[in-house]
Amino acid sequence: MIHFNVPPFFGDEFEYMKKAVDNHKICGDGEFTDKCNKWFENSLKAKKVLLTTSGSAALEMAALLCGLQDGDEVILPSYTFSSTANAFVLAGARLVFVDVRPDTMNIDENKIEQAITDKTKVIVAVHYAGVACEMDRIMDIASRHNLKVVEDAAQAVTSMYKGRFLGTIGDFGCLSFHETKNFSMGEGGAIIINDESYNLKAEIIREKGTNRSQFYRGQVAKYNWMDYGSSYLPSDLNAAYLWGQLQHADEMQENRMSSWERYLKAFKSLEKAGIIELPFIPEECVHNAHMFYIKCKDIDTRTRYINFMRENDILCVFHYVPLHSAPAGVKYGRFDGTDEYTTKESDRLVRLPLYYKLKEEDQNKVIDKTLEFFGLRNA
Ligand SMILES: *Cc1c(COP(=O)(O)O)cnc(C)c1O
């Protein structure tokens, strides 16, 4: 069986987890959490990074930091994971869904401005498949309308746009280290805070509404309940696992990228023949090989393709029923303008197995069976 995903594991994760146990510090904000925060601050050239219990938790923190009032509106794509939307619903906002661009599946920057009302407070840029949204345009719209920008960079850890790392461009960036993402800690994530004036508030929200972080730094004599908050800091055991992964960051990235490039090359003939479409990477974007997808002609072809692959012991998946057509999407939001591409394009998209150390022979089988299905085996 060729799995769709195998979580990354390098071998020294346990050694660091043992160290956390030996430190007698397995709760949050121990040695390894601190090391990981700093690793991301240095690697992504970010001012402030805080590990969280998940990408969803990072999004919830970002939504709380945006200071939304009941009835405020948040603009986001409908083609995204439920967590992107949940965070803002929990913060009391109404969702305004905007169509995606068919080439990148990212929010269409040309359809954002028409969705803005007096109530709009935030634009959420989801960098689908680790490929950047058109950030210059989005930041320009946000500054003209005085809106905050939250980057959902859950899939885009170490990806870039015009030389800047994703998550460091908007007001807040949210990363995920779920087992399906490039780096993993089981469940986990991080929030990037790009405006220093939010640092203290972020620490308080993350530490159950207390200023314990200041207390640990010796800045206050005792800690106190300062404001609303929750427990958004992960166990140092999970951070130790992540730290083990970060030691192999280049190796992981090169390995994923070479699999990604092999798929692209292998399927060029299918694309040329007009049978499928392949991912598009705009010139100003450097992606992180998070995902390889193809687009079939229509949903019926996709269903037959997925079934054919499964009969051959290969697991390919689709995802994201557009949120605006889901029960909660209907309840909490509206779609602005017409759904020109969101439903049509998501119906055609299918993801192929891609993970650190996908074996060459397994990838060859995925490629051969795909060519066979589409009738170009010997082309
Ligand atoms: C994975 C993902 C999330 C959620 O991350 P978790 O760590 O699983 O909570 C949010 N948004 C997008 C786009 C994702 O892909």
Q: Are 7 and 177 in contact (CB under 8 A)?
A: no
pLDDT above 90 covers a percentage of the chain that reads 98
Angle in degrees, 0-180, between the axes of helices 360-373 and 299-311, rounded to the nearest 10 = 130
Which ligand 1 atom sits closest to the C-alpha of 58? 9
| C-alpha 376 – ligand 1 centre gap (Å) | 35
CB of 125 shorter than 6 A to ligand 1: no
Best substitution site from 51, 56, 59, 60 to test ligand 1's pocket, by max atoms within 8 Å of Cβ? 56
Mean pLDDT of the 305-333 span: 96
- Per domain, the residue ranges of the chain are 12-246, 249-373
Q: Is the CB of 77 under 6 A from ligand 1?
A: no
Place of tokens 């050239």: 45
pLDDT the model gives residue 48: 98
Give CA torsion, residues 43, 44, 50, 51, to 10 deg: -70
Residue 376 has pLDDT above 90, yes or no: no
Question: Amino acid letter at 239?
Answer: A
Task: Name the residue of 100, 131, 176 to mutate for ligand 1: max ligand atoms within 8 A of Cβ.
Answer: 176
Distance separating alpha carbons of residues 192 and 287, to the nearest angstrom: 19
Average pLDDT value over all residues in the chain: 97
What is the CA(2)–ligand 1 centre distance, in A? 23
Q: Is the CB of 152 under 6 A from ligand 1?
A: yes
Smallest CA separation from ligand 1 atom 5, residue: 55
182 pLDDT exceeds 70?
Answer: yes
CA of 119 to the centre of ligand 1 (A): 26
Average pLDDT (317-335) is 96
pLDDT tens digits, 342-363: 999 999 999 999 999 999 999 9
Q: State whether residue 25 is helix, strand or coil.
A: coil
How far, in Å, from the CA of 180 to the mean position of ligand 1?
9
Out of 51, 60, 79, 83, mutate this one to test ligand 1's pocket (max ligand atoms within 8 Å of CB): namely 83
> Per the structure block, which two tokens stand in for 147?
């809106």
351 lines ligand 1 (CB under 6 A): no
Q: What gap in Å lies between CA 114 and CA 112, rounded to an integer?
A: 6
Give the pLDDT band (50/70/90) at residue 377: low
Contact predicate 157/175, CB 8 Å: yes
Q: Per CATH, the architecture of 249-373 is what?
A: Alpha-Beta Complex (3.90)
Band of residue 320 on the pLDDT scale cut at 50, 70, 90: confident
192 CA to centre of ligand 1 in angstroms: 15
Distance CA 379, CA 360 (A): 21
Short-list 298, 319, 32, CA closest to 155? 319
Q: What is residue 196's DSSP assignment?
A: G
Mean pLDDT (whole number) for 178-196: 98
Q: Which architecture, in CATH terms, is 12-246?
A: 3-Layer(aba) Sandwich (3.40)
pLDDT for the residue numbered 319? 86
Cβ 84 under 6 angstroms from ligand 1: yes
What pLDDT, on a 0 to 100 scale, did the predictor assign at position 379?
Answer: 44
Query: Nearest Cα to 207, choosing from 237, 233, 175, 227?
Result: 233
Ligand 1 pocket member 245 (CB < 6 A): no
Of 80, 81, 175, 290, the residue with max ligand 1 atoms within 8 A of its CB, to mutate for a pocket test, comes to 81
Residue of minimum CA distance from atom 2 in ligand 1 = 154
pTM above 0.95, yes or no: yes
Mean pLDDT along residues 260-271? 97
pLDDT in tens, 193-215: 999 999 999 999 999 999 999 99
Percent above pLDDT 70 for the chain: 99
Q: How large is the average pLDDT for residues 56-83?
A: 97
